[in-house]
Amino acid sequence: MLTIDNETKLKDIVAETLGVDAEEIEGTASPATLPSWTSFNHLTLMSAVEEAFGLTLSMEEMTGVKSYADLAATVGRHLG
Amino acid sequence: MKITQSDLDLFSAASHDVNPMHMDADYARKTAFGEPVVFGILGALAALGHTRDRNGECLAGVLFTFHSPLLRDIEYQTVVTEKSSEKTTVDVFDAGRMVLTAVFTFQPSEQESEEWPAERPGVHRSEPSEWTEAVLAGGIVVAGNYTPALAKLRALIDRWGLRRKGVSPLQIAILVWSSYLIGMELPGKTALFSRLRLTFETPAETPSFPLVYRARTLVLDPRFQLLKIALDVEAGGLTLASGQAASLIRPESPVSSADSLRALLPNEPRLLGQTALVIGGSRGFGAALSLGLALQGARVLLAYQHSAVEAEAVRSQAGEAPGKIELVQGDATDITWLQTLCSQIQEDGGGLDMLICNACPPIRALAFAPEALGRFQEFITQSVALVSAPAGAFIDLLAERKGWNVVISSEFVRTVPAEWPHYVAAKYAIEGMTRAIQAQQPSVQSLIVRPPRLLTDQTNTPMGRMDAMPVEAAAAAVIRRFSEPAPDGVETMERFDPLIR
């Protein structure tokens, strides 16, 4: 689970990268619901998350992120 | 908005960006996109033309994200959004699929935005740079002087209606410079421009060309070959813009390895005396199949349409093989050419033991939507023709020897990726046609091959390569099947496990 601060930080990164408002981002947000969540922006997003949280995601983790909820869970596992 | 070849020519002339992915059709055909792609900055300028006029304002910054390459002659849809009076976003879609996002930020300005700088020549390359990954990863700085071709730049501005959009000629020059920088200097030839963020300064007076630029690599992410670059532009001692660009590095075209195939195939040649015709045999999976069949002793007729150099390279790789490769050039949808080839095989006193239809049109992501139906249908028509015409010409000859009618399908008929509906539909059509041919001509042995995503020119992008199977592994599995008992009816091959000979 992410802390409230980290949840806010993660939503800000997603919002900045995908060009959407942070309020639009729910757990079900995904490439299917956000047109700007393209395959290239997926890479940009993973890279931005790694940089902001100081972690390294494996390829399996990156390709396993199918929604915002997946991303939050993945980051949460790394932060412990 | 629609961008044509003449738009590419004009942009290239204005910017001095002659990167072959945009300007060399033969080179571009062998990339994952299959044809020349539109300069990303050209797409962004075309998008700018869709914004409202702005008086008393000038551009303060841009953020361009190139989600997917734009192609020529496609009618793209633009959605313009103003979340505030200073900020306009233009999203560009291809049948509902986002391909470009251009964000323009403006600020008040009293300066005449249409003032042109005095022209003084810069220095530009005529061939793009080619850096090794190690050099890029180690970090480099590229600096120089740049002046666009001003008459062409004026024509570009007029073409896309960019006057009165709050963007000065100098700023447009800086934007086209960014295209030159990425496509010609850093990373150069293998670039796939992905993102640009620039902040513009507003000098008190318009400086003269040339632009004086400095670009410094920040990081190369080796996992997906993403290069980030810091940018600074000035002129006449005045800072004009700074920011960051990102470019993917397109990998080298994958080439089939005879050594890899030898390691995966039986030591002894098991196909001596057999003849195979491989449609689309010069590159990718077809090249691996051709080479592997020759290594197993078969006489291979390698049919290609355009890739003569690659076809010759496959043939030369088979130099010491027990079999041999003969090249035949033609259009595999042309029944007359195919029937002539069939007659030649018969006149040579031979027959045909394997017909392998591997050729496929370039595969590009496509939404299933009304505005894309033309491309959807064209892809299916071409795909089916590349199998039906050879099958029509050779099926009787094949039946004489109870030969193999092999079609290359894909595991995507089961996994059905949403962005490739045309590909899935075409492969289903081809599989159905193969079953129908088998019913009509039961003497042949039909093999439907459903490989996973293979590492070929079609998938050769930083993301497309992820988890792609080497073509040699899939080719070896198919070739080994030919020396095993014949199937009862139509067989579908879906397993391509690593093999031990």
At B308-345, the pLDDT tens digits run: 999 999 999 998 899 999 999 999 999 999 999 999 99
Distances (CA, A) of B333 to B112, B338, B353, B465: 58, 8, 21, 29
* Cβ–Cβ pairs < 8 A, chains A and B: 43
Structural contact between residues B261 and B290, judged by C-beta atoms closer than 8 angstroms: no
Mutation test of the interface with chain A: which of B62, B67, B226, choosing the one with the most A Cβ atoms within 10 A?
B67
3-state secondary structure of B241: strand
User: Which of B451, B450, B468, B448 is CA-nearest to residue B459?
Assistant: B468
Query: A50 to chain B: which residues are within 8 Å by CB?
Result: none
- Whether A1 shows a pLDDT value over 90: the answer reads no
Q: Which residues contact B363 (CB under 8 A, 6 or more apart)?
A: B34, B420, B423, B458
Question: Bridge partners of A23?
Answer: none
pLDDT of residue B499: 54
Structural contact between residues B38 and B44, judged by C-beta atoms closer than 8 angstroms: no
pLDDT of residue B501: 41
What span, in angstroms and rounded, lies between the C-alpha atoms of B150 and B481?
62
pLDDT of residue B500: 43
Segment B292-303 mean pLDDT: 97
Q: What percent of chain B has pLDDT over 90?
A: 79
> Which tokens in the block code for residue B284?
């990718």
- Whether B407 shows a pLDDT value over 50: the answer reads yes
Q: Which residues contact B320 (CB under 8 A, 6 or more apart)?
A: none
Residue B146 sits at the vertex; the CA angle it makes with B145 and B148, to the nearest 5 degrees, is 165
Nearest by CB: B98 against A38, A43, A47: A38
Structural contact between residues B362 and B311, judged by C-beta atoms closer than 8 angstroms: no
Residue B416, number of CB atoms within 10 A of its CB: 12
> Which tokens in the block code for residue B135?
């050099």
ipTM above 0.95, yes or no: no
Contact flag A40-B89 (C-beta cutoff 8 Å): no
Segment B365-392 mean pLDDT: 95
pTM: 0.88
Query: What's the pLDDT tens digit per position in B151-165?
Result: 999 999 999 999 899
What span, in angstroms and rounded, lies between the C-alpha atoms of B298 and B322?
8
Query: A39 to chain B: which residues are within 8 Å by CB?
Result: 67-68, 463
Residue located via tokens 């008040």: B108
Q: Where are the alpha helices (DSSP H) in B401-493?
A: 412-415, 421-440, 471-481
